[in-house]
Amino acid sequence: MKFLKRILGVLSPVHIGWVTMTQGLYVGTDGAGNKYYRGRKKRPGYKYERRWVIYKGAPEASKVPPEWHGWLHHQTDIVPEKTGESFRRTWQKPSRPNMTGTSAAYRPPGHVLKGGHRPAVTGEYEAWIPPRS
């Protein structure tokens, strides 16, 4: 059994490539180089077609732009690349990868890694004292 698990673990990327080549139709590529596919046939017993992404580089779900995320999750059937119009609004920022666990992660004022000092409490705060029974 260990031998079979080891072989399947090694062949996993090969299997993904084989499934994509034989059962997938190329749909488009986003600005980050991720490639999007849809299944060639309707899956029996499923309401929606199968859609997937092959990431460029390390697989990180936060690399998928919002418009492609909507397509992947069947929120829209419009392929973002084919429409020619942008789904982005002028106020939207470009997507960034998840920075949690890195030195670029958000740390609020008073966080231990930002010095650990918060401003002193002013007289606005009054601690709640539970009623005695």
For residue 7, pLDDT over 70 is answered with no
Q: Within a domain: residue 59?
A: yes
For residue 18, pLDDT over 70 is answered with no
pLDDT, tens only, 75-97: 888 888 765 556 677 887 777 77
Show the beta-strand stretches assigned E in the chain: 24-29, 35-39, 51-54
Q: Within a domain: residue 15?
A: yes
Domain that residue 44 falls in: 2-98
Domain count, the chain: 1
Q: Within a domain: residue 85?
A: yes
Q: Within a domain: residue 114?
A: no
For residue 13, pLDDT over 80 is answered with no
pLDDT, tens only, 33-81: 999 999 888 888 888 899 999 999 888 888 888 889 889 999 888 888 7
What residues pair up with 52 in beta bridges, in sequence order? 37
Could you give the CA distance from residue 64 to residue 107 in angstroms, rounded to a whole number?
Answer: 24
